[in-house]
Amino acid sequence: MKYEKYNNSLVCPKCNTPIAQNFKKFFTGSHKLVEEKEVVECNINEEHIHILCSCGFDYVVRPMDWNKNKGVK
């Protein structure tokens, strides 16, 4: 599944809060996270960003296109 590409103009799909005001965490593979007081496994095996909005909505976007030798394209 392709996730929307990260950019600063994104807004939360639930409440329209700009993502610049939200907590963001970058991951490079599978990891554990807390959902509704339970630890669950996120099975996305590629680079992705979890964005947690103040309204409680957690959504995932992919990072900008990365050039491994030079950082962001």
Q: For the chain, what is the domain count?
A: 1
Domain contains 53: yes
Report the amino acid identity of residue 56.
G
pLDDT beyond 80 at 73: no
Beta-carbon contacts of residue 12 (< 8 Å; ≥ 6 apart)? 19, 22, 51, 53, 55, 57, 59
Domain that holds residue 16: 1-66
Write out pLDDT tens, residues 56-72: 888 888 877 655 544 44
Q: Which 3 state secondary structure label does DSSP give 48?
A: strand
Q: Show the tokens assigned to 9.
A: 């103009």
Asked whether residue 71 is assigned to any structural domain, the reply reads no
> pLDDT tens across 7-30, in order?
777 788 889 888 888 888 888 888
Quick check: is 73 in a domain?
A: no
Residue 36 domain flag: yes
